[in-house]
Chain A
Amino acid sequence: MVRIRASAALTCLGDGAATFAALLDGRSGVGSLPHIDAGSVNVTCGYSIDGDAPEPGYGAGGLLSVVVASALADAGLDPDTDRVPVVVGTGLRESRAIERWAAGERPVELERLHFGAAVAGVGGALGPVVTLSNACSASGHALALAHDMVELGFANHVVAAGADVMAVSMLAMIGRVAPEPTRQVRPFDTRRTGVLLGEGAAAVVVAAGPAGDGEAELLATGLSCDASHETIPDEAGMVRAMEDAYARAGVRSADVDLVVAHGTGTEQNDPAEARALRRVFTAPGRPVLTAVKGAVGHTSGAAALVNVDVALRAMREGRVPPVVGLRTPIPETAEFRLAGGEPGHTPVRLAQVNAFGFGGLNAVTLMAAPGAAR
Chain B
Amino acid sequence: MSRPVVLTRWAVCLPGLPPGTTFEGWAPDDVPPPERAGELLGRKGLLAKEPATRLALCAVHRAFGLPERAPRRTASDLSPDTAVVISSNLGNIATVARLSTSVREEGVRAASPLDAPNASGNVIASTVAIWFRFGGPNLTVCSGHPSGLDAVGLGHMLLLSGRARRVVVVGVEPRDATADALLTDATGEPGVAVAACVVLEPEGVGAPLHEVAPVSNTERPHVVADRGDDGRSELDTGSDGRGYGAEGVLQVAVAAAVVTDDPGVRSVTAVCGSRTEGFRSALVGSPRVTLGAA
Seen from chain A, the residues whose Cβ lies within 8 Å of a Cβ on chain B are: 37, 39-42, 90-93, 95, 98-99, 101-103, 108-111, 113-114, 116-117, 127-135, 141, 144-145, 148-149, 151-152, 154, 167-170, 172-173, 175-177, 223-231, 237, 240, 357-361
Contact = CB atoms under 8 A, between A and B. Distances in A.
Contact of B125 (A131, A173, A223, A359): A359
Contact of A128 (B80, B150, B161, B185): B150
Contacts of A177: 113, 116
A134 B154 contact: no
A133 B122 contact: yes
B104 A110 contact: no
B137 interface: yes
Nearest to B274: A111
B33 interface: no
A110 B130 contact: no
B97 A148 contact: no
A227 B74 CA distance: 11
Contacts of A42: 107-108
Which one of B97, B108, B178 has the greatest number of beta carbons of chain A within 10 Å?
Answer: B108
A93 B108 contact: no
Interface of B: 2, 75, 78, 80, 84, 89, 93, 95-101, 103-104, 107-109, 111, 113, 115-117, 119-123, 125-127, 129-130, 133-144, 146-147, 150, 154, 157-158, 160-161, 163, 178, 182-183, 185-187, 214, 276-278, 280
A167 B99 CA distance: 10
Given A131-B143, A154-B157, A361-B122, 14 more contacts: A98-B93, A98-B96, A110-B185, A110-B186, A114-B143, A131-B141, A134-B122, A134-B140, A152-B157, A170-B120, A177-B113, A226-B129, A230-B130, A240-B135
A347 B157 CA distance: 36
Contacts of A175: 108, 111
Nearest to A108: B182
A130 B147 CA distance: 8
A132 B2 CA distance: 23
A118 B103 CA distance: 29
Contact of A151 (B99, B120, B161, B276): B161
17 contacts: A93-B142, A99-B97, A101-B97, A111-B276, A116-B143, A127-B278, A133-B121, A145-B157, A223-B137, A224-B136, A225-B138, A227-B134, A357-B122, A358-B117, A359-B122, A359-B129, A360-B126
A114 B130 CA distance: 26
B126 A225 contact: yes
Contacts of A176: 108-109, 111, 113, 116
